Structure 1
């Protein structure tokens, strides 16, 4: 976990808060997904365009969820 914290520059408390939010969220609800995407973008200090946000949201709603952290990080590059 320390490696994640070091590489992302995000505290473990913030990572756990987001993980818990994702775990109990309705990922079929667009507003919920959009809110989580915005939180992650802000947390990672990686602003994303409206177009990229839409792409991520639609991908999650269609259940094309990345299977690894590496795949997920591609969205925020």
Structure 2
């Protein structure tokens, strides 16, 4: 199994402080994409495929797995303020 991580960058949301995060999980049967939700759970999404086909205004940038824990912590702090 391989997992690739992507951050969603946009105006005001650079790669260091992204708007969102998506991962692509690939195994022997194919792949599926998941987005990190505000409850910090991963759930299925079609956003990455839409972007690959040019149907998304957002931009996705692949990141290394070593950056994922820090970005999740950013979301934890940001989203806890919304509760």
**Given the two structures, how large is their TM-score scaled by the length of structure 1?**
0.28
Task: Point out the structure with max Rg over C-alpha.
Answer: 2
- Structure richer in helix, relative to its length: 1
- Structure richer in strand, relative to its length: 2
**Given the two structures, how large is their TM-score scaled by the length of structure 2?**
0.27
